[in-house]
Amino acid sequence: MRPDRDIDALRERLKAMETDGCPTDDARFDLGHAEVDRDLGGLATHALHEIYAATTPDATAALGFALGLVQRAAGDRPVVWGVQAMAGLETGQIHGPGLREMGLDPGRVVLVRVKETKDLLATGEEALACGAVGAVLLTAWGESKVLSLTATRRLSMAAGQGRATAILTRLAAQPQPSAAETRWRVRGALSRALEADAPGHPTYAVELLRHRLGAQPNAWTMEWDRERGVFEQGGRNAEHQQSQRPALPGGLVSPAADGSSAARGGAVRRFG
């Protein structure tokens, strides 16, 4: 018998019994990025959000940003990821260890691989409405008539019904009207270099194209912090801010490496 495990199990059950643990319908989640959260006041949790890859090579950046939103929105609940086969062939297959490196436990993910867009939508609707998942991520490839205004409206209704977050990533497609709550365009952005000029943490140039509640289109550079599970100010701006910090003693630790660990709330995480 392991008492700590028992206590954990009891906590789980208590959590399940508490009705106010359920998010209410105007539930929102934030990104952890101070500026974005101030401007948008968070994103609707039980709604559809659309993310376009700016160009085909930015597909992975778009998926990375989407995964960040999924983790912000879904908490510890299961995630269903529907991927159209063509996307996998063109931009690479989803790699389990890579998911882990983005902070999402691959064990929580059910991967659904489909050929046709209509199957992708059907999978999305079914998964959203069933009430068992925290978020559904759909990856569609190319322009498609099937992804119409009606289809996206059905997705957002299913999201409301099943109290889940729907995130539709579109690769190799131009932004078009839809029933999405927010629409984003993402491209990869230069990361803050780590020690010895090594590539840094996932960094995205994110544009808000449309917001149903009327927030103005805007653009930010965001860096994903896996350990804290938040977006942060990232890229060159961040580097600029850092350079204004007091110089560090010794030349062994680069400012960026120290900056990231300081921003991360430090030692507790390191050993946690």
Partner 1 sequence: MRLAAANGQALALGLSPGMTLADARARAPDIRVVVHRPEADAALLKRVLLDFGRFTPMAATDGPDGLALDITGCAHLFGGEDGLVRAVAARAQGVGLAVRLAMAGTPEAARALARFGRGGIHEGEGQSQALRRLPVAALELSDKETQALSRAGLKTLAHLADRPTAPIAARFGAAAATRLNRVLGREDARIRPERPVPLISVDRILVEPITETADVEAVIGDLLIEAMDRLDLRGQGGRAFQVGFFRLDGEVRHITVRTGRPSRDAAAVLRLFRERLAALARPLDPGFGFDQLRLSVPVADRLASRQRGFEPTPPGAEDLGRLVDRLTARLGPEAVSRFEPVASHWPERAVHLSPAALPAREEATWPGPDPADPPLRPLQMFDPPQPVLATAEVPDHPPNRFIWRRVDHRLIRVEGPERIAPEWWRTLKRPLEPTRDYYRVEDQEGRRFWLFRSGFYGEEPAPRWFVHGVFA
102 binds partner 1 (CB under 8 A): yes
Rounded Cα–Cα distance for residues 224 and 204 (Å): 8
59 binds partner 1 (CB under 8 A): yes
Nearer to partner 1, 176 or 261 (CB): 261
Rounded Cα–Cα distance for residues 272 and 192 (Å): 24
105 binds partner 1 (CB under 8 A): yes
Considering only 28, 153, 210, 264, the residue that binds partner 1 (CB under 8 A) is: 264
The distance of closest approach from Cβ of residue 202 to partner 1 in the complex, given in angstroms and rounded to an integer, is 4
Hey, what long-range contacts does 189-192 have (CB within 8 A, 24 or more apart)?
189/61, 189/221, 189/234, 189/235, 190/235, 190/236, 191/223, 191/234, 191/235, 192/223, 192/234, 192/235, 192/238, 192/239, 192/242, 192/256, 192/259, 192/260
Nearer to partner 1, 214 or 250 (CB): 250
The distance of closest approach from Cβ of residue 196 to partner 1 in the complex, given in angstroms and rounded to an integer, is 7
257 binds partner 1 (CB under 8 A): yes
86 binds partner 1 (CB under 8 A): no
205 binds partner 1 (CB under 8 A): yes
Phi, psi of 208 (to 5 degrees): -90, 115
158 binds partner 1 (CB under 8 A): no
Q: Which stretch binds partner 1 (CB under 8 A): 26-34, 126-134, 146-154, 176-184?
A: 126-134
Phi, psi of 203 (to 5 degrees): -135, 135
